[in-house]
C-alpha cells in the first residue's frame, strides 16, 4: 500500500494479518514488535490472522501458539499467491472466530454479508507483507 489513512480514533479493534515466512512465534513476535509503538495497541487488543502460504487446502499446521499481552484472538488462514485465501474449512472457521470476537467484544461493528472487504484504515510496514487493518467489514466465501 502506498497510502495510509489514519482513522484510529474511530476504531475499536485492530486486525493484524501476518504472513508466516519462517517460524510461527518469530513471525508473530516480529509483527507485534513492528506495531508496538502504535497508540492503538496501547488502547486495544489485537486480533492476529496468521497467513500460511500453501496451495493445499488440507495443509496440516504445526501446533504452535503464542501468548502475548496485546493478542485477543489468534487464528490461522491458508492462502496461495495469486489465488488469495483458499476455500477450506480452516479459513471458514477462522472467519467465524474473528466475526464472533468482533461482534462479542466490539459493538461498534456490524459484519455484513458482503463479497468485498472495506478497510477504513490500513498500513503497510517494511516487514514482509505485514498488513494491519482496522474498522472493517469482511466476508470470506
Does the pLDDT value for residue 1 go beyond 50?
no
How many domains does the chain fold into?
1
Distance CA 67, CA 76 (A): 15
Domain residues for the domain of 87 are 10-137
**Does a structural domain hold residue 55?**
yes
Side-chain half-sphere CA neighbours of 6 within 13 A: 4
Q: How confident is the model at residue 123 (pLDDT cuts 50, 70, 90)?
A: very low
The string of pLDDT tens digits covering residues 18-75 is 898 888 888 888 888 766 556 556 666 788 899 999 999 999 887 667 677 678 889 9
Between 29 and 93, the higher pLDDT residue: 93
Q: Note the Cα 73 to chain centre separation in Å.
A: 9
Report pTM.
0.66
Residue 133 lies in a domain: yes
**Is a pLDDT exceeding 70 seen at residue 104?**
yes
Residue 2 inside a domain? The answer is no
Amino acid at each position: 500500500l502506498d497510502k495510509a489513512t489514519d482513522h484510529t480514533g474511530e476504531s475499536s479493534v485492530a486486525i493484524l494479518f501476518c504472513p508466516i515466512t519462517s517460524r510461527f512465534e518469530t513471525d508473530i513476535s516480529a509483527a507485534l514488535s513492528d506495531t508496538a509503538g502504535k497508540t492503538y495497541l496501547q488502547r486495544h487488543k489485537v486480533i492476529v490472522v496468521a497467513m500460511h502460504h500453501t496451495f493445499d487446502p488440507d495443509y496440516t499446521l504445526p501446533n504452535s501458539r503464542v501468548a502475548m499481552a496485546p493478542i485477543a484472538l489468534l487464528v490461522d488462514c491458508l492462502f496461495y499467491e495469486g489465488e488469495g485465501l483458499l476455500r477450506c474449512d480452516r479459513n471458514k472457521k477462522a472467519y467465524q472466530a474473528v466475526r464472533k470476537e468482533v461482534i462479542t467484544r466490539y459493538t461498534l461493528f456490524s459484519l455484513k454479508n458482503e463479497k468485498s472487504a472495506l478497510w477504513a484504515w490500513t498500513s503497510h510496514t517494511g516487514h514482509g507483507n505485514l498488513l494491519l487493518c482496522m474498522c472493517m467489514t469482511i466476508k470470506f466465501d
